[in-house]
Amino acid sequence: MIQKIRNNIYLLLFLVTSFLTSCSQVKKGGGDTHRVGNVDFFVDESFRPLFTTSVDTFKGLNPKANINAIYEPEGIIINKFLNDSIKAICVSRNLTEEERLFLNKKKVNIQTDKIATDAIALIVNDLNIDTNISIENLKKILNGEIDTWQHFKTKINVVFDKTNSANYNYLRKLVQVDKFPLNVFAVESNQEVINYVKNNKSALGIIGLNWISDSDDPKAVNFMKGITVMGVSSKEGGEYFKPFSGYLYTKEYPLTREIWILNKGSRNGLHTGLVLFMKGEKGQIIVEKSALVPANAPIRLIEISTEE
């Protein structure tokens, strides 16, 4: 009888110790689960609105999940990811084959998931009547061949968020240049790009579409005051399309791109829990509500006619 009591006491002590150890690990971020823990998530700033909404919703469903979003330029984030200093990132592309081989040699297990189709949006001051542009002319502006608005007759100042950001990398890939002319320059964020365009009639702003796409978000609605989103054609003389989700889906809007989450965190950890949420039904509804294209759900194509 005494031995049985001792065994029960030992079992109880073991269970209590295990529980306290588990709690300590979660508190330190080392024993997180899909719904519990503390994690850092590195995100390119052009995806901040979508990521903020997704994280806030996820945390509302999982109060013990503490996700610290850190916003840095995409190039810096990917470099940190490859050098094993961070576990999960949200960027505009998947890993290249060379990057995969590099991580495989280090015996790092990775999971990559496309979350949505986004786009680069071109914005101008609402006093500017040059509101359509072809890809050909956009390239000429970015490489310095064109530096004046056709109708506005003022010098074009092109602004983007940060050097080495997803927006910057998209532009460099588009025009295949190592250096932009002096009238193409960075500020500090997508929000500063929007503010600059509002206050400068000659500006052409380059931003992530999700900053202005959610018509139910008061911040996005406020951002739209004082600016116009340009129509873009894939060829000179072609039809111009604005970055509506239907045109992103059909690729008729030519400046589309993807949103990817790259994760090497534990399959049972909080990093993976957020990824599963964002590519699952609830997360994809958030993507659709943000007027982007979900990666894992069909989108309805609706043609809307307006009368002025």
Helix (H) or strand (E) holding 50: helix 48-61
Classify residue 300: in a domain, yes or no: no
**Interior CA angle at 81 toward 185 and 107, to 5°?**
155
Q: Looking at 227, 256, 285, which one is the last position of a domain?
A: 256
Domain identity same for 178 and 94: no
- Report the 10 Å Cβ neighbour count for 294: 23
**Higher-scoring residue by pLDDT: 267, 225:** 225
pLDDT band at 155 (very low <50, low <70, confident <90, very high): very high
Domain identity same for 73 and 161: no
pLDDT at 278 over 80: yes
- Report the 10 Å Cβ neighbour count for 102: 14
Domain identity same for 135 and 243: yes
CA-nearest of 306, 292, 224 to 258 is 292
pLDDT at 14 over 50: no
Classify residue 12: in a domain, yes or no: no
pLDDT at 264 over 70: yes
CA 308 to CA 306: how far, in whole Å? 7
Domain identity same for 129 and 244: yes
Classify residue 305: in a domain, yes or no: no
Domain identity same for 128 and 250: yes
pLDDT band at 298 (very low <50, low <70, confident <90, very high): low
Task: Tell me what pLDDT residue 3 has.
Answer: 52
Judged by DSSP in three states, 149 sits in coil
Domain identity same for 101 and 206: no
Domain identity same for 215 and 274: no
| Domains: count for the chain | 2
Classify residue 99: in a domain, yes or no: yes
- Least reliable range by pLDDT among 18-27, 38-47, 166-175, 251-260: 18-27
Task: Tell me what pLDDT residue 153 has.
Answer: 85
Domain identity same for 96 and 154: no
End-to-end CA distance of the chain: 90
pLDDT at 22 over 50: no
**Higher-scoring residue by pLDDT: 277, 20:** 277
The rounded percent of the chain whose pLDDT value lies above 90 is 81
Which residue(s) pair with 112 in the sheet? 262
Q: What value does the mean pLDDT of the chain take?
A: 89
**pLDDT tens, 109-128?**
999 999 999 999 999 999 99
pLDDT at 173 over 80: yes
Classify residue 10: in a domain, yes or no: no
Give the pLDDT mean for 150-155. Answer: 88
Give the pLDDT mean for 41-64. Answer: 97
Which domain range does residue 34 map to? 18-117+259-294
Classify residue 73: in a domain, yes or no: yes
Task: Tell me what pLDDT residue 1 has.
Answer: 55
Task: Tell me what pLDDT residue 151 has.
Answer: 85
Domain identity same for 126 and 214: yes
Classify residue 85: in a domain, yes or no: yes
Domain identity same for 248 and 286: no
Domain identity same for 186 and 247: yes
Classify residue 47: in a domain, yes or no: yes
**pLDDT tens, 192-231?**
999 999 999 999 999 999 999 998 899 999 999 999 999 9
The token pair that represents 16 in the structure block:
């209590």
Domain identity same for 144 and 84: no
Task: Tell me what pLDDT residue 297 has.
Answer: 64
Task: Tell me what pLDDT residue 289 has.
Answer: 94
Residues 6+ apart with CB under 8 A from 144: 180, 181, 183
- CATH code of the domain containing 99: 3.40.190.10
Task: Tell me what pLDDT residue 25 has.
Answer: 42
